Amino acid sequence: MKIAMIGTGYVGLVSGVCFAEFGFQVTCVDKNPAIIERLQAGEVTIYEPGLDELLLRNARDGRLVFTTDLETTVADADVIFIAVGTPSRRGDGEADLQYIYAAADEIAAAMKPGAVIVIKSTVVVGTNADVRARIGKARPGVAFSMVSNPEFLREGSAVEDFLRPDRVVVGVHDDAGAAAMKRVYRPLYLRETPMIVTTLENAEIIKYAANAFLAMKVTFINEVADLCEKTGGNVQDVARAIGMDNRIGSKFLHAGPGFGGSCFPKDTRAYAATGRKMNAPQTLIEQVVTINEQRKRSMATRVIEAAQKNGEKSVAVLGIAFKPNTDDIRESPALDIIPVLQKAGLAVRAHDPEARVAAEPVLPGVTWCKSAYEAVEGAGITVLLTEWNAYRALDLKRVANLMSGNLLFDLRNVYSAQDLDGTGLEYHSVGRPLVGKVS
């Protein structure tokens, strides 16, 4: 069984490497020669824990190769995965499918009869059927199967998520497609991972509905946090107790500065746009999109108001990545918050363990620091924005001594009231009581 993986971005690279780890012969294809050269040299082009080891081992053993030659790769492949990007289209928020269609056209021209074509990218409902019709038209009379196989990989734990998923979802229209998916996911199947075999449309909707639901859960707890702040409640206690109800579940109930990343913002916008287009308004998710965007901005307002009240002029931001264990800054709250702080006249110093290279070009005017302690030096306010492990056990007395002011905004609720004892810091967190206020 030979697998072609079209697109070596996040999803394509992780999936390609993991299929090689399952023992298949995998060829990863990308149009960008610079990326392919780096991968051929054994350099992992994304930051993802555990990926480098698997990539090197499988490449060394000859099961994993990288090329820009789509035509030859596809002509020889039994199963062809499409894992190209589906970015948000400017303006309407709909998913831009141009890369999917371009890949489909190239695949149609090169595929062998009986090929199984699998869309792994997140695509709006109806896309798999469209692509199937398009390829059928391009190669009349040539048999092929179309499969929708959405991924549920979290950045930072994508390898683990691929190798040990809660479930695998495959949408098919014929038995050959289903049989091929059972083969490629056989190692998981043997581990009794449930495989949902369903229609193309269901698989497409499942992916969006799953992400929309999780984004809604985060947004819900963020609003509960707002209520806690106004009433003396504690969102962590509330989340813990409601999460113990199995119908609710404890995950994705961490209040914070709003969700970011390459999936939730883009997918909720696309899901809402599909609802509008199909005349099935997804009003709940429309609201989630709006609330989340406002939330990121309102976090900046909190800090600015505190700065004005206390006469502070500088802010140290700890964490730029949208979450820990990734260098990804796409739609990270930091990108919304920092420019607003700067516009209000605040000088920003920042640190992130991995994301500086990505962040520097898009956040002009920021003073970049080599460590959290260097960043807080001389700062009036410190804002903890990403819950990197490196920020979970800071010596807060040292932080307080290095700062010129005494305001700590922990927007990830990393610390507890006890951690603040004796530091002299005024501690603002999310949905929890203020600690250490000297009034």
Contacts with ligand UDX, residue ranges (CB under 6 A): 151-155, 211, 214, 218, 252-254, 256, 259-261, 263-264, 322-323
Rounded Cα distance between 349 and 379, Å, is 8
- Residue 173 annotated as binding site: no
Smaller CB distance to ligand UDX: residue 36 or 214?
Answer: 214
Closest CA to 423 of 432, 433, 403, 129: 403
- Residue 70 annotated as binding site: no
Least CB distance to ligand UDX at residue 363 (A): 17
Smaller CB distance to ligand UDX: residue 261 or 353?
Answer: 261
Residue 228 annotated among the catalytic residues of the structure:
no
Least CB distance to ligand UDX at residue 263 (A): 3
Closest CA to 265 of 237, 239, 293, 243: 293
Least CB distance to ligand UDX at residue 415 (A): 17
Least CB distance to ligand UDX at residue 327 (A): 12
- Residue 260 annotated as binding site: yes
Q: 231 CB contacts (<8 Å, ≥6 apart)?
A: none
Least CB distance to ligand UDX at residue 345 (A): 28
Q: 258 and 299 in contact (C-beta within 8 Å)? A: yes
Least CB distance to ligand UDX at residue 394 (A): 19
- Residue 152 annotated as binding site: yes
Smaller CB distance to ligand UDX: residue 263 or 299?
Answer: 263
Closest CA to 340 of 292, 288, 296, 291: 296
DSSP string, 422-433: TT--EEE-SSS-
| Residue count (the chain) | 439
**Six-digit token pair at 179?**
């049989």
Smaller CB distance to ligand UDX: residue 58 or 236?
Answer: 236
Smaller CB distance to ligand UDX: residue 261 or 405?
Answer: 261
Rounded Cα distance between 77 and 158, Å, is 25
**Six-digit token pair at 167?**
């479930």
Q: 225 CB contacts (<8 Å, ≥6 apart)?
A: 235, 255, 430, 431
Least CB distance to ligand UDX at residue 239 (A): 8
Smaller CB distance to ligand UDX: residue 257 or 380?
Answer: 257
Q: 14 and 51 in contact (C-beta within 8 Å)? A: yes
Closest CA to 214 of 251, 242, 160: 251
- Residue 297 annotated as binding site: no
Q: 294 CB contacts (<8 Å, ≥6 apart)?
A: none
Count CB-CB contacts under 10 A for residue 294. 12
Smaller CB distance to ligand UDX: residue 330 or 356?
Answer: 330
- Residue 122 annotated as binding site: yes
**3-state class (DSSP) for residue 209:** helix
**What's 366's DSSP letter?**
P
First-last CA distance in the chain: 70
- Residue 428 annotated as binding site: no
- Residue 382 annotated as binding site: no
Rounded Cα distance between 183 and 2, Å, is 11
Residue of minimal CB distance from ligand UDX? 263
Smaller CB distance to ligand UDX: residue 73 or 326?
Answer: 326
**What's 362's DSSP letter?**
G
- Residue 136 annotated as binding site: no
In the set 18, 228, 263, 369, the catalytic residue is: 263
- Residue 86 annotated as binding site: yes
Least CB distance to ligand UDX at residue 251 (A): 7
Rounded Cα distance between 12 and 16, Å, is 6
Closest CA to 286 of 270, 301, 297, 302: 270
Binding residues, as ranges, are: 30, 86, 122, 152-155, 207, 252-256, 260, 266, 323, 330
Binding residues for NAD(+), as ranges, are: 30, 86, 122, 155, 266, 330
- Tell me which residues are annotated as active site: 263
Binding residues for substrate, as ranges, are: 152-155, 207, 252-256, 260, 323
